[in-house]
A and B are shown apart, each in its own frame.
Chain A
Amino acid sequence: GAGVSQSPSNKVTEKGKDVELRCDPISGHTALYWYRQSLGQGLEFLIYFQGNSAPDKSGLPSDRFSAERTGGSVSTLTIQRTQQEDSAVYLCASSPGVSGNQETQYFGPGTRLLVL
């Protein structure tokens, strides 16, 4: 079956612009996660959704970062007024959630963001 998909695969933007990153989880997965992979910081947790609600927003690095999920499916991560330190690979993962195996997360290919 289809795995987690993310778009765009690559994004180059200018400092100060806003960007939107999209994640389509595996069908039927109720839990969705965003992580960031950058040199020097490794893999960092950003935010977690169970259904459409986000019980844990603790990993968002600043108020320029926000995320939403609609219909219990697609999620969008928005970065406002991008800075060069936002350059990283943004990874999305999904898992079956509380009704199934919550702990095993399946990752998408990532969106590589470069802020010039």
Chain B
Amino acid sequence: GNSVTQMEGPVTLSEEAFLTINCTYTATGYPSLFWYVQYPGEGLQLLLKATKADDKGSNKGFEATYRKETTSFHLEKGSVQVSDSAVYFCALYDSSYGKLTFGQGTILTVHP
């Protein structure tokens, strides 16, 4: 079956630091890949997505590149802000199953 593995958290950074959250996946087909973000007290929001190999998804300064050779979709941001503090979930969608499979989530805390 499909699975998603995210780096262990929590991650604590100072404002303007560089962020990387690692995500790797296992899938039998050719999934689409997503990053969702959950801000404190709010629901899940789509942050970015990539639908095929070598695609780069980007939004709000965050980027992730679909790497089929390493089965990875690492999330990066060059300069984090306090407002980026949230839980980040990597996920894959396989049309064979019609559902999202999520990683365990990574808590990010950014200090001023």
Q: Which residues of B in the span 59-112 have a Cβ within 8 Å of any Cβ on A? A: 89, 93, 95, 97-105
Chain A residues with Cβ below 8 Å from B45 are: 107
The total of chain B residues at the interface (CB under 8 A) is: 22
A56 contacts which of B32, B46, B99 (Cβ < 8 Å)? B99
Chain B residues with Cβ below 8 Å from A31 are: 98
Q: Which residue of B34, B44, B103 has the most chain A CB atoms within 10 A of its CB atom?
A: B44
Inter-chain contact B43/A48, CB cutoff 8 Å? no
- A93-B103 Cα distance, complex, nearest whole Å: 17
- A103-B36 Cα distance, complex, nearest whole Å: 13
Residue of A nearest to B104 (CB): A42
Inter-chain contact A103/B104, CB cutoff 8 Å? no
Question: Chain A interface mostly helix, strand, loop or mixed?
Answer: strand
B44 contacts which of A59, A91, A103 (Cβ < 8 Å)? A91
Q: How many A-B residue pairs have CB under 8 A?
A: 49
Question: Chain B interface mostly helix, strand, loop or mixed?
Answer: strand
A43 contacts which of B97, B98, B102 (Cβ < 8 Å)? B102
- A109-B42 Cα distance, complex, nearest whole Å: 6
Chain A residues with Cβ below 8 Å from B98 are: 31, 48, 50, 55-56, 102
CB distance from A54 to the nearest CB of B (A): 11
- Ordered by A's residue number, 29 sampled pairs between the chains whose C-beta atoms are within 8 Å are A31-B98, A33-B99, A35-B100, A42-B102, A42-B103, A42-B104, A42-B105, A43-B105, A45-B101, A48-B98, A48-B99, A50-B98, A55-B98, A56-B97, A91-B43, A93-B44, A93-B100, A102-B95, A103-B51, A103-B93, A104-B34, A104-B46, A104-B49, A105-B46, A105-B93, A105-B100, A108-B43, A109-B42, A109-B43
Q: Name B residues whose Cβ lies closer than 8 Å to a Cβ of A.
A: 32, 34, 36, 42-46, 49, 51, 89, 93, 95, 97-105
